[in-house]
Amino acid sequence: MSILARALAACLLGGLLGVAQAAERPEEIVIGITAFLSGPASVFGEPGQAAAEMIIDNINAQGGIDGVPVRAIYVDEGAGGEHVVSEYRRLVQQEGVSAMLASISSGNCNQIAPVAEDLKMLNIMWDCGTQRIFEEGDYRYVFRTQANATPEMVATVLYLLKTKPDFQTIAVVNQDYAWGRESWKIFSTALKALKPDVQVVAELFPKFGAPDYSTEISRLSALRPDVVLSTSWGGDLDTFVRQSAQRGLTGMSTFVLPLAESSLQRLGKDLPEGVIVGGRGDHYFLHPEFRDDPAFQAFSAEFREKTGAYPIYPVFHMAQALAALQKAYEIALENSEAWPDTEALVDAMEGIEFRGLTRPVRLREDHQGLEDQLLGTTVHSDTHDFAVLDNIMIFPADPITTPVGQISEEWVETLDPAMLEMEVDTYQHGQ
């Protein structure tokens, strides 16, 4: 064959291959988002949904991702685990989603991760806290754009021991599902490692969504522990705190509520002073490092106008997840002319660093996000009709997150009391 003919053939072939590799540029990018939209946990899921709507509107107002608009479909986790899984499948197989953000519930995350891997769908765990997923398996398609139970609980233990080093007894009241059980396991193991003489006087696990804690509160009132821990969140936490406050338990024991940042506004002055509060990450609408930042303030104001409330950590988590997704598209589009398919997106997500509204987050090689942890103690102030945080400490992610390849429950046993000497950024309210 002549050189010309060969060259022509090569061009044709190359052209065909190129055309074959380029995914069709879609009319819109559809993503699926699961959240609690009903039930007691909806006080938590609805702000997350509102944040997603707001952020996606802003993205589309700026032309979308590389000119393609984004649309979200929401799945209600409140309808039960089976519903979530079947809806997940339906969205992937029938609605042609490009990515899934799932879930809030640790239980749902545990169930969905293998399903996502099976369906070969990019799955971003945008809010759930269970640490088990990446410790128990290797995933290509599943990522977590926030921390997990381990750094959150370790940071809480450190804050508690730094501010109240001499307490003797502790009781726990956690929701009875994956998060409640696992978070307690990690917390108690870390506590025992850092302060071996502490005594656990009661371990209570009321049902997720339980409307009434009177018996648990009576029991704790009788036992009078120094510290009461609860990793509850949403409507459950609201009810527990209110009922405890009604019966004076909050006055008797120091309450440690690592997820209470999301309940601050709803509880108002029912949340007394002196409660240790965490935000599952460095999330707080009066974040000392960002609250004077114009972009942060603009977002907060826009969110307040849309929903009537300040942003809480599900909002920040949603912002992180969407920022990561956008970044992945950016990277994938930089690497190739063609529109990225799932494989390209997943490759782009490896080791990604992105920023939602507060400190940046980086993904490790096991797809786990490294997120700094903020905790504070409540005070009542005249500026807001709900409790705000004082004596804020922000713990860096690296020393408090389980190293890659290790199991949290084992690693946490090896924590050294010298860790308490850690230097931490500290801020007072009003600073």
Partner 1 sequence: MTPQLLWLATLDGVAYAALVFLVAVGLTLIFGVLRVLNVAHGSFYAIGAYTAASLGIAISSGGLPGWLSYPALILAAVLIGTLLGSLIERQLLARIYGKEEVLQLLVTFAVFMILEDVQRLVWGVQPYFQDTPLRLLGTMEVAGVFYTRYQLLVLPATALVVLVGLRLFLRHTLQGRVILAVTQDREAAMAMGIDAHRVYLTTFVLGASFAALGGALASPTTALVPGIGSDMIVLSFAVVATAGLGQVEGAALAALLMGLGRSFAVYMYPEFEVLMPYLIMVVVLLIRPQGLFGVAETRRI
Partner 2 sequence: MLRALPPVILALLLAVLPLLATWTTVVLTLALAKGLAVLGIVVLLRAGQVSFGHALYFAASGYAAAFLAGSLGGGEVLVLLLAGLATSLLLGLAIGWFVVGYRYIFFAMLNLAFSMVLYSLLEKFFHITGGSDGLRVPRPTLLGMTLERAEFELGLFYLTLGLAVLAAFLVHRYLASPPGQALAALKTNETRLEYLGVSARAVFLGGYLISALLAGLGGTLQALVQGLVTPEMGYWVASGELVFIAILGGAGHVIGAFAGALVYEFVQIYAAAFAADVWQLILGTVLLLIILFASRGLVGMYQDLWRRGEGKEAAP
Chain residues binding partner 2 by CB under 8 A are 37-38, 76, 79-83, 85-87, 89-90, 93-94, 105-108, 110-111, 114-115, 118-119, 176-178, 181, 205, 207-208
Rounded least distance, CB 81 to partner 2, Å: 5
Among 127, 152, 238, 372, binds partner 1 (CB under 8 A): 238
Among 108, 131, 145, 239, binds partner 1 (CB under 8 A): 239
Judged by beta carbon distances under 5 to 8 A according to partner kind, the member of partner 1, partner 2, none in contact with residue 303 is none
Contact yes or no for 407/359 (Cβ under 8 A): no
Cβ proximity to partner 2: between 96 and 360 the closer is 96
| Secondary structure class of 152 (helix, strand, coil) | helix
Rounded least distance, CB 35 to partner 1, Å: 12
User: Got the DSSP string for 53-92?
Assistant: HHHHHHHHHTTSBTTB-EEEEEEEGGG-HHHHHHHHHHHH
Judged by beta carbon distances under 5 to 8 A according to partner kind, the member of partner 1, partner 2, none in contact with residue 114 is partner 2
Rounded least distance, CB 86 to partner 2, Å: 7
Among 23, 37, 73, 309, binds partner 1 (CB under 8 A): 37
Among 39, 151, 225, 314, binds partner 1 (CB under 8 A): 39
Judged by beta carbon distances under 5 to 8 A according to partner kind, the member of partner 1, partner 2, none in contact with residue 215 is partner 1
| Secondary structure class of 354 (helix, strand, coil) | strand
Judged by beta carbon distances under 5 to 8 A according to partner kind, the member of partner 1, partner 2, none in contact with residue 87 is partner 2
Contact yes or no for 260/125 (Cβ under 8 A): no
φ/ψ of residue 115, rounded to 5: -65, -45
Judged by beta carbon distances under 5 to 8 A according to partner kind, the member of partner 2, partner 1, none in contact with residue 212 is partner 1
Nearest CA-CA partner of 427 in 287, 297, 294: 287
Question: Which residues partner with 170 through β-bridges?
Answer: 200, 227
Cβ proximity to partner 2: between 175 and 253 the closer is 175
Cβ proximity to partner 2: between 105 and 244 the closer is 105
Q: Per rule CB under 8 A, is residue 248 in the interface with partner 1?
A: yes
Among 87, 127, 182, 216, binds partner 1 (CB under 8 A): 216
Helix (H) or strand (E) holding 203: strand 199-204
* Contacting residues for 405 by C-beta, under 8 A, at least 6 apart: 366
Rounded least distance, CB 105 to partner 2, Å: 8
| Secondary structure class of 312 (helix, strand, coil) | coil
Cβ proximity to partner 2: between 133 and 345 the closer is 133
Location of structure tokens 């997106």: 345
* Contacting residues for 429 by C-beta, under 8 A, at least 6 apart: 286, 376, 379, 381, 388, 389, 390, 391, 392
Q: Per rule CB under 8 A, is residue 219 in the interface with partner 1?
A: yes
Rounded least distance, CB 107 to partner 2, Å: 3
- Residue 118 and residue 104: Cα distance in Å, rounded? 20
Contact yes or no for 258/64 (Cβ under 8 A): no
Q: Per rule CB under 8 A, is residue 79 in the interface with partner 1?
A: no
Ramachandran sector of residue 12 (left: φ over 0; alpha: ψ -120 to 50; beta: rest): alpha
Rounded least distance, CB 179 to partner 2, Å: 9
Radius of gyration of the chain (CA): 23
Contacts to partner 1 by CB under 8 A: 37-40, 42-43, 46, 78, 203-205, 207, 209, 211-212, 214-216, 218-219, 221-222, 235, 238-239, 242-243, 246-249
